[in-house]
Structure 1
Amino acid sequence: MAVSQGAIMAEDGKETLPTSEESLLSSLFTEIFTSPLNLFLLGVCALLIYKIFRPSDGIGAASGPVEPPVPKMKRQDMTLEQLKQYDGSGEHGRVCVAVNGKIFDVTRGKKFYGPGGPYAAFAGRDATRALATFSVNDVKEEYDDLSDLSSMQMDSVREWEMQFTEKYDYIGKFLKAGEQPTEYSDEEDAKDTKTKKDD
């Protein structure tokens, strides 16, 4: 049985004419997507949406000046006093943060951790307690043994540690006062660099 143009086949096999709403939608759809002006405007809208939601790659005039990459720090363990030198305000501009007994070079994230950043309180400090309690201001001025943190807070600390490990360069251990630093060789630094590149 031949079906006439514009007709719809109903469930019972009989041919029916479209309702006025279906006809209206069909003609509206045809009119929108066949008009050259409408196609042009649709393309402009798609381009604007793409520009708004595309990931920033740092290319273009709006991104501002590009800072040269900072060379990798040598592997070293630090006490809190040594760590405080890396708060982003020194001539080297480096920013280091301690998390769960490990020190990370977060200079790449300077807009967050450097002077004026939302997490500047972590710069050159042990951020473990602040990350565990979700309070930026909960940073201690002395070595913090974290013994009073709950198991849930320590789970959160370990998750933060994993995130820092994946994103930033590990520098060394965070030392208690009087604890001796490890002597690291150049081979260990080279091995760390190779491991980061392989990841």
Structure 2
Amino acid sequence: MSAPMRNFEPKEPVKLNPPKDDPISPELLATADGSDPAKVWVAIKGIVFDVSGNASYLPGGSYNVFAGKDASRGLAKSSVKREDALPQWEDLDDKEKGVLEEWFKFFSKRYNIVGKVTSANL
């Protein structure tokens, strides 16, 4: 897994909806795990993105480990290990936090924000 390019703009323009801040419980987030291709969510630092339509997050896809979870730690560590698909990122070093921020910007340019995880300390 490589970090996103520093140019965060998508190749093709993406029309995004205004961000929502609907409360999303960890249990509800877990249901958006790719088993229903129409509802696939990934959270970063407690912000939930709708990644439906990206086959990488569906079962068998390279990023499916993140579907239905807060993937902050795994993205920051550039890891797709199941044990790294966790919301804990505050204890990471500055370099990893920088990588996480780049992923957040990358997602923000491509996917609609559908809410915030209710247990996230933001």
Q: Please tell me the TM-score bracket, short chain as reference.
A: 0.7 to 0.9
The equivalent of 1:128 in structure 2 is 72
Measured in 2, the distance between the counterparts of 1:80 and 1:146 equals: 16
The equivalent of 1:6 in structure 2 is none
5 Å-filtered alignment, 1:16-165, equals 75=20, 76-90=22-36, 93-109=38-54, 111-137=55-81, 138-140=84-86, 144-165=87-108
CA offsets 1:47-72 (integer angstroms, 9 cap, x no match): xxxxxxxxxxxxxxxxxxxxxxxxx8
CA offsets 1:14-53 (integer angstroms, 9 cap, x no match): xxxxxxxxxxxxxxxxxxxxxxxxxxxxxxxxxxxxxxxx
The equivalent of 1:30 in structure 2 is none
Q: TM-score, normalised by structure 1?
A: 0.47
Measured in 2, the distance between the counterparts of 1:125 and 1:108 equals: 17
1:169 aligns with 2:101: no
Deviation at 1:119, TM superposition (A): 0.6
| Unaligned runs of at least 5 residues, structure 2 | 1-16
Deviation at 1:86, TM superposition (A): 0.5
Measured in 1, the distance between the counterparts of 2:100 and 2:33 equals: 21
Please say which structure displays the higher CA radius of gyration: 1
Query: Share of identical aligned residues, percent?
Result: 37
CA offsets 1:78-127 (integer angstroms, 9 cap, x no match): 1221100111213x631000012210000021x10111111100000011
User: Which of the two has greater strand per residue?
Assistant: 2
Contact 1:103 1:170 in 2 (8 A): yes
